[in-house]
Amino acid sequence: MNHSTIFAIKASESIISPEDSGLVNGKIAVNGWLHDLAEIRGIYAPPFFSDDFKLVVRFNGKRVAACDNLWEPDQLTRKGKISGFSFVSRLIPCAGRRAVILAIKITNRSKTHLPMLVQYELVGGIGIAPHWGFGKPRNCPFALSHSFDDGIFSIDGQDCRIAFASSLPLAPALPLVTGVLNTPVATIQPRESFDFYSVVAIGGKQETADSIAEVVASPEGAINQAKKHWRNRVRQLMSVMPSFESDNRALEKLYYRSLLHLLLNEWDVPEFLLHPYYATGAINGGCLCCYLWNYGEPYKLWSILNPQSVQDHLKTFLKLDLGNCYAFFPEDGSPNGPCYPVNQEKVIFLAHAYVMNTGDVSFLHEQLNGKIIIQHLIDQAMMHDDLNQEAI
């Protein structure tokens, strides 16, 4: 089983709608629109978001439909054609950044010199969401201002910014609020290709400036870094997870693809309480709360993957009143939702698996909110039990 390609989904295999497709790297989630060669819709990089963001790229005045695509967790590849040209785009989240790269290769398939005009259009607001629960944040505030300085187009909100740059020279149309950015007409030789790069970053103003500057300085270097980072994460995951072999290749493939959740749902956001933080979801900014039912499902695997994270997540749950909530918010560990009776089962299973997998019995005797952890677990096991009543 080739673990480097097992997660890939071809367009012919996919049942995912364009609205539900996306990429995530633990700091940013974006939607690369599957039907368009170079469109991006929505940016979610906690606590920053732009649910109405749209980046459109036109070629000689036309949008190019994607006739094929390949989704991989670290990259979306789309292909398209218009008269005389073929296109390949790669959308890649940057390693360790709230930024993405859109790399596009244009090939002149004709026998003559052909002109190519690339034009961008960026629209959308930007905001900061105080809580990330099940539903992704919506209705971001309108942008407060637009600016173009030193080749960088910026959409500013209150203490936040979306910044855009290209390896092509940019000339913004006026007024700037239109978000239209023109580039010089290029001439592509017969049978030759032309590559260029676009970068989108979101966050604080200094953060976006740093991301844009470093990625634009070496876009292929940033792409290679992102790929290396992803391969290392996959390698580390496979080195600790149980291996599975079967004469049923589809079943084997299903097992390994199921492990992808442990990577996609891992977030490392400075503004979050836990590092790393394992959410219930990730794609397009949805389901970022930690829902105990879901977190507790692979309870035997967490302490194999990251024992310290089990301690951190379990302690966060035990600090809550689990008789009155079923999840916690990632920013501060505050409670979310009503009580679910499955809560008590999950915390006990998580603690049991942790001790059995690590042998760390001392964890049960750590103090937490005035009680040792084993007492918290006993309290959960006894919830709603009345010992004065006769046993049934």
Average pLDDT, the chain: 96
For the chain, what is the domain count?
Answer: 2
The model's pLDDT over 127-184, given as tens digits with 9 standing for 90+, comes to 999 999 999 999 999 999 999 999 999 999 999 999 999 999 999 999 999 999 999 9
Nearest to 323 by CA among 345, 308, 340, 301: 340
Q: Of 228, 259, 274, which residue is a domain's last?
A: 228
Q: Are residues 190 and 71 in the same domain?
A: yes
Residues with Cβ within 8 Å of residue 221, at least 6 apart in sequence: none
Residue-wise pLDDT for 7-19, tens only, equals: 999 999 999 999 9
Q: 117 lies in a domain?
A: yes
* Closest to 321 in 3D by CA, of 279, 281, 284, 369: 369
Phi, psi (5° rounding) for residue 344? Answer: -65, -40
**What is the residue-wise DSSP string for 277-308?**
EE-S--GGG---SEEHHHHTTTHHHHHHH-HH
pLDDT score at 4: 65
The answer, yes or no, to whether residue 3 has pLDDT greater than 90, is: no
Q: What is the pLDDT of residues 254-279, one digit of tens each?
A: 999 999 999 999 999 999 999 999 99
pLDDT in tens, 185-227: 999 999 999 999 999 999 999 999 999 999 999 999 999 999 9
Assess if residue 351 is contained within a domain.
yes
Mean pLDDT of 26-43: 98
- Structural domain includes residue 245: no
The answer to whether residue 184 sits within a structural domain is: yes
Question: Which of 228, 249, 270 is a domain's end point?
Answer: 228
pLDDT at 82 over 90: yes
Query: How confident is the model over 343-353, as pLDDT tens digits?
Result: 999 999 999 99
Give the number of residues written for the chain.
392
Q: Mark whether 306 and 202 lie in a shared domain.
A: no
DSSP 264: H
Supply the pTM of this predicted model: 0.95
Joined together, the tokens standing for residue 337 give 């939702």
At 333, is the pLDDT very low, low, confident or very high (cuts 50, 70, 90)? very high
pLDDT for residue 389 = 85
- 179 CB contacts (<8 Å, ≥6 apart)? 120, 121, 122, 123, 146, 153, 155
